[in-house]
Structure 1
Amino acid sequence: MANFVLAAGAWLGSWAWDEVVPELRAAGHGTCPLTLSGLGDRQHMRAGQQTHVRDIVDEVERHDLRDVVLVGHSYSGIPVGQAAERIGDRLAGVVFVDSNVPADGESFASHWWQGPAALEALIAGNGGFWAPLTAADCEGQGLTGEQIARLVGGSIPHPGATLTEPAVLARPLGELPATYIKCLLDGPEPSDDVAKLLTSEHWRLVEMNTGHWPMFSQPRELARIMHEAASAY
């Protein structure tokens, strides 16, 4: 069985995986849900993108984990993709959950739909942080009112430096064994950079008929897909 190290997207902490972890453990896997620096109960810590990469690598090394499946949701696909190449033969594979992916020398902001300057301005206008989710952001994503309340209620401002610092990759991301989960309510097609990676023989695409936060909307189905991914590595 695998050891899953799970990093949720912007604004969220380890609690985002609360309904996924029991399903993975019931299937016999180890689980390490992470709260990255500057978030959740680590909100007091300063963080850049490389801080988050180090958070993930440290978690693997501290617990001496083997057969590791790194899971990155949304923003966290960027640090997870970098950490994957840094843990060497401890890695079994990666699961990207409707996530961004790293490109050497580029940041999360590099691919912001309104352009990097627009996101940088939002961050600067909010004291160096990306303002947390609102209920309106969650509409049309397959979430119940209760799930939206939980998601929004737990979201906190996200440290802006993690979004503007560039990624550092030593080898092509397409060489990693990876499963990309596309959540269809958040858009029917992967982004262009993900679509290019999916042409690699090492990558496969799985679609979920839900929104951008499947750990809330369909946690059991998400855990099943993760289990199948781990079995394939």
Structure 2
Amino acid sequence: MTSTTSSPTVILIAGHWLGAWAWDEVLEHLNTHHSRAIAITLPGLDGDDPERAEKTLDDQAAAILDGLTRLRVPGDQPAIVVAHSGANAPVSLVLDRHPELVRRVMWVDSGPVATGSVFAPDLPEGVEEVPLPPFDVLGQQASLEGLSAEILERFRARAVPEPGPVLRQPVELTNDARRKVRTTLVCCSIPSAQVLELSRAGHAMFAEVANLEHLDVIDLPTGHWPMWSRPGDLANVIQSAASRAD
């Protein structure tokens, strides 16, 4: 078993509408294995912040970088960054700006974005925030497989509207060193074989995967929110990556 003194810090970042709370069950399992794991809430997703609707991708990337530097013990190894879904945009910015701070990035039903990517390019400037859609609408966009009525109720109750500026801001990337960071794709709602096929075909959502120099793929079949549908299994995948001597 890897000890807390040698394990890298694991930073968990959830996607749209979610804060650190989304990882509670995963953290319970990781703590059992003595990982040094923390979850962070991105700027704009703290429901108590009166200015949250003004936050940008740059604000979110800055918060992640702050976490990477503040939580790093002097002389310690770089962190494992676990990014779920829409956290891929700010994490891609972090990898572009400071790849040396990340030992491995794990994309959970997600992946790196390409430069120029915009999540919602047609979102009008006057829209300050986008709330969690009705589940019948959301289910057409991302798989809800494995989510009980109780989980969906908690999701609805705790979700925070996504800031409009985050959804409209283009992701500008310039540093090819981001592609050298060791990467794990945790494929849940789309099988890894299909993800890799789409990547080779140049599909906009997966094109950057083809440019990664050190790539592992893991299938964890479930819906788009495996931190709730398969928290123990997801924790095991993260723990295994954190224990590897890359």
User: How much does 1:167 deviate?
Assistant: 1.5
The answer for the alignment partner of 1:180 in structure 2 is 185
Identity in percent? 28
The residue type paired with residue 47 of structure 1 is: K
User: Compared with structure 1, are the counterparts of its residues 157 and 140 closer, same or farther at alpha carbon in structure 2 (3 Å cutoff)?
Assistant: closer
Where does structure 2 lack aligned partners over 5 or more consecutive residues? Answer: 1-6
User: Compared with structure 1, are the counterparts of its residues 187 and 205 closer, same or farther at alpha carbon in structure 2 (3 Å cutoff)?
Assistant: closer
1:184 aligned counterpart, secondary structure: coil
User: How much does 1:106 deviate?
Assistant: 2.2
| Structure-1 separation of matches of 2:99 and 2:38 | 18
| Structure-1 separation of matches of 2:220 and 2:70 | 33
The residue type paired with residue 223 of structure 1 is: A
User: How much does 1:195 deviate?
Assistant: 5.7
Aligned mate of 2:37, from 31, 39, 48: 31
| 1:112-191 mapped onto 2 (5 Å cutoff) | 116-117=121-122, 120-121=123-124, 124=126, 127-136=127-136, 137-138=138-139, 140-172=144-176, 173-184=178-189, 189-190=194-195
Could you tell me the TM-score, scaled by structure 1's length? 0.84
Matched, 1:97 2:108: yes
The answer for the alignment partner of 2:81 in structure 1 is 70
| Structure-2 separation of matches of 1:8 and 1:29 | 18
Matched, 1:213 2:213: no
The answer for the alignment partner of 2:65 in structure 1 is 57
The residue type paired with residue 112 of structure 2 is: V
| Structure-2 separation of matches of 1:41 and 1:184 | 28
Structure 1, 218-227 or 34-43: larger mean CA deviation? 34-43
Where does structure 1 lack aligned partners over 5 or more consecutive residues? Answer: 110-115
> Which of these two proteins has the greater Rg computed from alpha carbons?
2
Asked whether the 8 Å contact 1:98–1:212 carries over to 2, the reply is yes
| Structure-2 separation of matches of 1:224 and 1:204 | 15
2:25 aligned counterpart, secondary structure: coil
User: What are the Cα deviations for residues 30-73 of structure 1, in whole angstroms up to 9, with x where unaligned?
Assistant: 11211111113453233101111001001111223543011111
Matched residue count: 222
Structure 1, 22-31 or 38-47: larger mean CA deviation? 38-47
User: How much does 1:91 deviate?
Assistant: 1.8
Provide the aligned C-alpha RMSD in A.
Answer: 2.4
The answer for the alignment partner of 1:5 in structure 2 is 11
| Structure-1 separation of matches of 2:48 and 2:91 | 18
